[in-house]
Structure formats: structure tokens, C-alpha cells
Amino acid sequence: MNANLPGQPQRVLSGMRPTGRLHLGHYHGVLKNWLKLQTEYECFFFIADWHALTTHYEESQGLQEHVWDMATDWLAAGVDPSNATLFLQSRVPAHAELHLLLSMITPLPWLERVPSYKDQQAQMPDRDLSTYGFLGYPLLQSADILIYRAGLVPVGEDQVAHVEITREVARRFNHLYGREPGYEAMAEEAIQKLGKKNGKLYRELRQAFLEQGDKQALVTARALLERQKNMTLGNKERLFGYLEGGGRLILPEPEALLTHAPKMPGLDGRKMSKSYANTISLREDPLEVEKKLKTMPTDPARVRRGDPGNPEKCPVWEFHKVYSSDATRQWVDQGCRSAGIGCLECKRPVIDAVLAELKPIQERVAEFARDPLAVRSIVEDGCKRARDVAEETLVEVRNAMGLGYNS
């Protein structure tokens, strides 16, 4: 099912838990992808402060500082508020209301079978995760996505399950509430408003899809609806749902946008993570960056300068895969295996590349440090924009569930 609302540009939704200042793993794993997406789609990027409480509810003292550090790092890394909406989850109460309403229709086993539910419990045995908030966090993620009717959600392969449960929740909601009284009559009336020519074409394409399974007819019919500029949102939603023989499409099903991100190793060769104390912060002092990289462990076989080594057994080689050109990697590979270069010589191109990458980011961090209110103003503007968009969806949801008392 097409996740875009009729007449609406492709919308992307993504967020991060505020855990403090970001490191190179965040930059290469998430932010560089966001910088590309913000030029291609309508993007909503949010700081998931409620999600931070699902596992660390006893450690909320530094949460606000983490929020503003993260917002500053996003902006310094190049997330552009003129191309994307940046906002704070808790400043958009519609997330919580939709989460509550969706909890009324979501079967408990759906939440218990999400892979990360048991995985995180196993990974954090020292934490009491037997809470409703932790069990329900996948549904809160679904609400985060569905409240903006996002068409695409950038995720890694290990996060696809969260998008799948969102699709199931949207499908169940539309099944329960999309069949409004007199739905077929209203859909037929909406077809008349397409005009004689377009109405005839819509019927032919709908028939071709429903009777012959012609997927191209479905694509063509959707494009026809998207071109209708003067039709109300409600009528477009009805015709999108009617096209596939279902009810009104209130909450579109999002698609997972699988993202390719280079593996960003930590200083010890494991995944870069604060829990492993092997990170380089985006704000790391240049002298400290150089010190950390110079003291990185290398191939254990290279005890002395004249000992040959194997780059595949050296954590520094993983940095070369991210930062170095083919020519430099070839120089490193040959020099390491022949002992033609030493480990410090091998590390020099990586040190220079990391420092060059961090320099403009740190300059922008310094600019925001001189004007901290600028960051808060950008986030507040984003929150207002997010609240307006979210409220449009919430009105439709309330009406569908019989809660539209003011409509």
C-alpha cells in the first residue's frame, strides 16, 4: 500500500534518543544519511526524549542538557531547519494521545513479539524493564510515525521489525475505522467530483486492479488522485481506500527505507559506542583526537617496527575503509604486510581525515555556543510546525473513532 497521502509530498520521519553529545558513529551511521534525505524529501527529525525514559527512567537528571547538546550537534553537522523540521517529541502532545488511542486496538502479543523487547532485557539485566512504558515503546514509535503520516522511515536491517508493527497497526486501524457509515455512497460521490473523463478512467483502473490484479493500473490510479488539486483531503482518502476495495485510508502504512551506512568502528575495533568507552566525540579536542588515534591498538603481530602485519587484523584498517581513498588503502595494505611503513605512519592519513571532518562541525558548535537561544528558537519553530501537522492527523483519528465532539 502506498504510504503517501494523496497530494502530499513524500514525507520522512526519523529520530534519536537524547544520550548526550554525539560521536562519529552517530555522524556516519545516521546524520550523513539525514543530510542527503533533507534535500530529497519532506523530513521530520525529532529528539525522542520520551523514549529515553523507557529504559533510563531513573536517570532523568541530565536529560535536558542531553536534548540541547543533541540539537546543537544536529545543526552543527548540517541538518538544515530550512529543509527539515527539527522538534522535541514531548513538545508535541499529539504523540501521546495517538499512542493512547492506538493502545486500545493493539493486541498485547504484537508488542511482546518485537525482537528488541527481549533483546534489550537480556542486554540490560541490571535494569528493571518490567514496565508498561518499555513494553509499549514500539507502539509509541508507531504513533511517532503515523501522527505525521510518514511515507518513509530510514532504518537499518535490525530495525525493520519496528516499521512492520507500525504497518500492522495502521492496517488494523483502517480496517476497524475506515468503513464509515455510507462509505461506498460517499466514495461514489467523490468519483463524480473527479469529472466525467477522470471519473471514467478511475473506475476502469480500479476494475483492472480488483478483477485482474493489474498493479500498474493501481499505480496509474494513485497518480491520477495525486494530481487532483481541488478535492478535499477526506474525499481523496476515501478514493485511495476504495481503489483497493478497502475502506477510507486514514493512517497510511509507512515503508522502511533501508539505509546504507559504513560500519563506524570504535577505537578498540568494536562498534563505536559510549558504553564501550571507545568513541570520538564530534566536539572532541583536536589534540585529544590525535592522541586517541595514535594510541589505538594495532595488529598484535607488529611488535617491532620491522614486523610485517595484516591490515584485516588491525582496528585502524576499519577507519581506513571509512576515510581513505583506494590509493591510500593500497599503500597501507602493501606497507603493512611488508613492514614498509610503521603503525604511526599508517595512522597519519586517518588522523588528518578525522580532524578535517570535525573542523567545520566544531566551528559551527562554537557559533551556537555564542548564541544558545538560536538552537532553542529553531527547535521551538519546529515544534510548532510539528504540532500543526500532527493535529491534522489527530482530528481525522478522533473523528474516525467517534471522538470528534467539536467537529
Residues 322-348 pLDDT 10s: 999 999 999 999 999 999 999 999 999
Digit-coded pLDDT (tens) for 335-381: 999 999 999 999 999 999 999 999 999 999 999 999 989 999 999 99
3-state secondary structure (DSSP) of residue 334: helix
What number is the average pLDDT over the span 246-256?
86
Alpha carbon distances (Å) from 386 to 65, 108, 146, 210, 395: 22, 29, 13, 37, 14
**How far is it, in rounded angstroms, from Cα 157 to Cα 154?**
10
Query: What b-and-e string marks burial along 53-81, b requiring 16 or more CB atoms within 10 Å of the CB?
Result: bbbeeeeeeebeebbbbbbbbbbbbbbeb
Which sequence spans correspond to the domains of the chain?
11-178+253-262+372-400, 183-243, 284-369
pLDDT band at 2 (very low <50, low <70, confident <90, very high): very low
> Residue 201 in 3-state DSSP?
helix
Residue 231 to residue 6: CA distance in whole angstroms: 10
Q: pLDDT digits over 167-199, tens only?
A: 999 988 988 888 777 888 888 999 999 999 999
Cα distances (angstroms) measured from residue 338 to each of 47, 307, 309, 319? 48, 8, 7, 20
**Lowest mean per-residue pLDDT among 31-45, 98-112, 256-270, 340-354:** 256-270
Cβ 335 vs Cβ 345: under 8 Å: yes
Residues composing the chain: 407
Task: Report d(CA 91, CA 341) in Å as an integer.
Answer: 55
What residue ranges in 120-254 does DSSP mark as E strands?
Answer: 152-155
Q: Facing residues of 45 across strands?
A: 14, 86
Contact 362, 70 (CB under 8 A): no
pTM over 0.85: no
pLDDT in tens, 118-132: 667 777 777 777 788
Structure letter (DSSP) for residue 84? E
Task: Look up the CATH number of domain 11-178+253-262+372-400.
Answer: 3.40.50.620
**In sequence order, which residues have a C-beta less than 8 Å from that of residue 66 and are 6 or more positions away?**
18, 19, 20, 52
The one-character DSSP state at 154 is E
Give domain 284-369's CATH architecture: Orthogonal Bundle (1.10)
At 407 the pLDDT is 55
Interior CA angle at 148 toward 145 and 150, to 5°? Answer: 60
Q: What's the chain's average pLDDT?
A: 90
Per-residue confidence at 3, pLDDT binned at 50, 70, 90? Answer: very low
| CB-facing half-sphere around the CA of 391: CA atoms within 13 A | 8
**pLDDT-wise least confident of 59-63, 125-129, 185-189, 267-271:** 125-129
C-alpha 87: how far from its chain's center? 13
What pLDDT score does 7 carry?
35
Q: Which of 96, 53, 43 is nearest to 74 (CA)?
A: 43
